[in-house]
């Protein structure tokens, strides 16, 4: 299936793996890229050394195009982004910050930049600083979707910019892909659906809980990580939302994050402190959220952790391989377009 996105990124199918911490690992990225889509590495929980190692591991597992994200809001993100540029990662997914310097550097080796946005203001800004495409995240999505649903947001932003749009949020099968293309998108990104595959590193207990979820079994709240975030309705998530910001817990968790990212804790703390009071609060929320995500995704502990999951979980009933899912999704979409053309 050819679209502007497949041509731009040099991939076979217009399906992207969203960059999700503890999910979009090198192995998962390679599985999606080898299936003809585009895997995007999550770097938010990596330090620069780990990011470099992850990129090089992906290259050992696939010779297909792949991407990596640079969430500029996170501590250490600029250093990670520089690693991606040094390693000449083909596609860099920028979010939560201005990525003009990344675009300029990526162009020097033929790289592409796709910016994650949730509204027209940010979409136009990303286009103005040179992004090659947009990843548009609707309200239904896992974690940080916007205020507007995918059905409305996608055509709104397609009309607002002249660069290709990739739709994310509420897409799990060929019907979702066909709908997104009909709305003017040139591809889709799937998070929850690809998280629920055989190759996904998410703990089986978390997968089992997600497969049982209905579209109503999520929580959308800013009391989990300081910004509107969608997570599975489970004991750990409910406790975290009820508790809100917990500074003592954040202090302990931030020390673990610094160790995990191989960053001196003093450097991390001073960087956060220098960013101002509002950002200190955001980082405190994020420290607790990172730990919650890890407990749910890596350990399957939903009594203490929180699993980011989209409303589309209610439509997911199986755990196919990544390749089976990609091929099935494309075949379903093509069948829909063929049927409508008759």
Cβ–Cβ < 8 Å for 78, 92 = no
Look at residue 320 in the predicted model and tell me its pLDDT. 98
Token pair 């020390």 is at which residue? Answer: 255
Look at residue 340 in the predicted model and tell me its pLDDT. 86
**Per-domain boundaries in the chain:** 4-201+316-341, 214-297
Look at residue 230 in the predicted model and tell me its pLDDT. 97
**CA–CA gap between residue 5 and residue 155 (Å, rounded):** 16
Look at residue 96 in the predicted model and tell me its pLDDT. 86
pLDDT in tens, 5-29: 999 999 999 999 999 999 999 999 9
pLDDT in tens, 95-154: 988 999 999 999 999 999 999 999 999 999 999 999 999 999 999 999 999 999 999 999
Long-range pairs of 220-225 with CB within 8 A, sequence gap ≥ 24: 220/139, 224/285, 224/289, 224/292, 224/306, 225/285, 225/286, 225/288, 225/289
**What is the mean pLDDT of the segment spanning 328-337?**
97
pLDDT in tens, 33-46: 999 999 999 998 89
Instruction: Please provide residue 207's backbone torsions phi and psi, each rounded to the nearest 5 degrees.
Output: -60, -45
Tokens of 55: 């990129």
Superfamily name with CATH number, domain 4-201+316-341? Aldolase class I (3.20.20.70)
**70, pLDDT greater than 70:** yes
Task: Name the β-bridge partners of 38.
Answer: 16
**CA–CA gap between residue 155 and residue 191 (Å, rounded):** 21
């Amino acid at each position: 299936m050819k679209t502007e996105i497949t041509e731009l990124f040099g991939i076979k199918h217009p399906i992207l793996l969203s960059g999700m911490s503890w999910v979009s690992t090198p192995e998962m990225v390679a599985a999606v890229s080898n299936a003809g889509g585009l895997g995007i590495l999550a770097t938010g929980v990596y330090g620069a050394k780990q990011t470099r190692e992850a990129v090089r591991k992906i290259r050992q597992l696939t010779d297909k195009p792949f991407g990596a994200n640079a969430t500029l809001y996170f501590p250490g993100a600029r250093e990670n982004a520089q690693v991606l540029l040094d390693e000449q990662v083909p596609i860099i997914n920028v979010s939560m910050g201005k990525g003009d310097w990344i675009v300029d550097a990526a162009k020097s080796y033929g790289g592409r930049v796709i910016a994650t946005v949730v509204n027209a203001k940010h979409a136009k800004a990303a286009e103005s600083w040179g992004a090659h495409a947009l990843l548009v995240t609707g309200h239904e999505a896992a974690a940080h979707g916007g205020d507007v649903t995918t059905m409305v947001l996608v055509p709104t932003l397609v009309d607002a910019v002249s660069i290709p749009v990739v739709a994310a949020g509420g897409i799990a099968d060929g019907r979702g892909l066909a709908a997104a293309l009909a709305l003017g998108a040139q591809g889709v990104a799937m998070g929850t659906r690809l998280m629920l595959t055989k190759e996904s590193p998410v703990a089986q207990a978390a997968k089992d809980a997600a497969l049982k979820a209905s579209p109503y079994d999520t929580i959308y709240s800013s009391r989990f990580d300081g910004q509107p975030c969608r997570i599975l309705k489970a004991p750990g998530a409910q406790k975290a939302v009820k508790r809100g910001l917990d500074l003592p817990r954040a202090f302990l968790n931030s020390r673990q994050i610094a160790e995990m990212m191989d960053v001196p804790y003093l450097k991390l703390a001073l960087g956060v402190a220098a960013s101002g009071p509002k950002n200190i609060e955001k980082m405190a929320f994020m420290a607790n959220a990172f730990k919650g995500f890890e407990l749910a995704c890596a350990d399957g502990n939903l009594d203490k952790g929180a699993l980011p999951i989209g409303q589309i979980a209610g439509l997911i009933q199986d755990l196919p391989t990544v390749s089976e899912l990609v091929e099935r999704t494309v075949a379903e979409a093509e069948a829909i377009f063929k049927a409508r053309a008759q």
